[in-house]
Amino acid sequence: MLSIIRERFRQGHRTGKFPKEAPQLPARFRGLPEPVGDLSLSACSRAVANCPFGALRSSANRLHVDLGRCLFCADCPAVAAGAIMFSNDYRLAARCRDDLLRGEEEYRLAKQLDKQMLKLFGRSLKLRQVSAGGCNACEADLNVLGTLVFDLARFGIQFVASPRHADGIMVTGPVTENMKSAVLDTYAAIPAPKLVIASGACAIGGGPFCNCPETHNGIGDLLPVDLYIPGCPPHPYTALDGLLRLLGKL
């Protein structure tokens, strides 16, 4: 016991200073994509056609990135041609599906809930997480939010075991046919009013499983989504930033 206490004193305070201070992420971290160059019409068409996840669109020789479909793989021709680069910006969450389309204009980050919903959930938000056919990457990074580094509970946000105790549902995975009823039953068991959060490219648009016959291309076609958190998987700070913006804590 004494050795444990000594070690805790040696390590000191381990909880991050976010949101008072922005996190220091490694240079190789792939955050918000930035369209930085013009391409010829043929090059744009080729880049759009060669994205295996349908995340690119073109307009006037400029590429636009759909963050709801992008896996941040950086293997597309647009990155190789220098038309798109990935910044170090972890802030990706948005309230509307259309806001996830990244072009030259300023990216529209998630806005807070309305006054009535903030009154209900602003100080205490309980979420039931459902893995609807995910690979466990998104689930693992959400689980990390409960560790002492991120300490999600200090903001009044917690994951709970029962939907009866929850204020909303956080879905990961593309929503496979086998998980459809489980997701809908979980949502139905949560008392109204309630929130729906789509975390990860699979939950938003199907990810690499988009248009597969056994998936539903995410949760958006089944339930109304209040917050989209892009990424494959989303970084824990991306998820935390989105949740705090939703609750008006940033």
Is 122 a domain residue? yes
Phi, psi of 131 (to 5 degrees): -90, 105
Is 168 a domain residue? yes
pLDDT in tens, 74-122: 777 667 667 788 899 999 999 999 999 988 788 999 999 999 999 999 9
Supply the range of the domain harboring residue 213: 115-246
- The mean of the pLDDT values for the chain is 90
- Residue 8 is predicted with a pLDDT of 76
Q: Residue 54 above 80 pLDDT?
A: yes
- Residue 7 is predicted with a pLDDT of 78
Mean pLDDT value across residues 124-150:
94
pLDDT in tens, 193-208: 999 999 999 999 998 8
- Which percentage of the chain shows pLDDT scores above 90? 65
- Residue 38 is predicted with a pLDDT of 67
pLDDT in tens, 3-50: 888 877 787 777 888 999 999 999 999 999 887 766 677 777 777 887
- Residue 123 is predicted with a pLDDT of 92
CA distance 185 to 191: 12
Q: Residue 231 above 80 pLDDT?
A: yes
Name the pTM for this structure.
0.92
Pairing outcome for strands 195-199 and 168-172: parallel
CATH at residue 237: 3.40.50.12280
Is 176 a domain residue? yes
Is 169 a domain residue? yes
Sign of CA dihedral 229, 88, 53, 49: positive
CA distance 149 to 197: 23
CA distance 156 to 246: 13
Is 56 a domain residue? no
- For the chain, the domain total comes to 1
- Residue 77 is predicted with a pLDDT of 66
Is 25 a domain residue? no
- Which percentage of the chain shows pLDDT scores above 70? 96
Is 214 a domain residue? yes
**DSSP assignment of the chain:** -HHHHHHHHHH---S--TTTS-----TT---SEEE-----HHHHHHHHHH-TT--EEEETTEEEEETTT------SHHHHTTSEEE-S-----BSSGGGGEE-SSPP-PPPPPPHHHHHHHSS-EEEEEEESS--SHHHHHHHGGGSTTT-GGGGTEEE-S-GGG-SEEEEES--BHHHHHHHHHHHHHSPSS-EEEEESHHHHH-GGGTT-TTB-SSSTTTS--SEEE-SSSPPHHHHHHHHHHHTT--
Phi, psi of 49 (to 5 degrees): -70, -30
Strand partners, 59: 62
Is 204 a domain residue? yes
- Residue 62 is predicted with a pLDDT of 76
Assign 138 a pLDDT band (cuts: 50, 70, 90).
very high
CA distance 139 to 142: 5
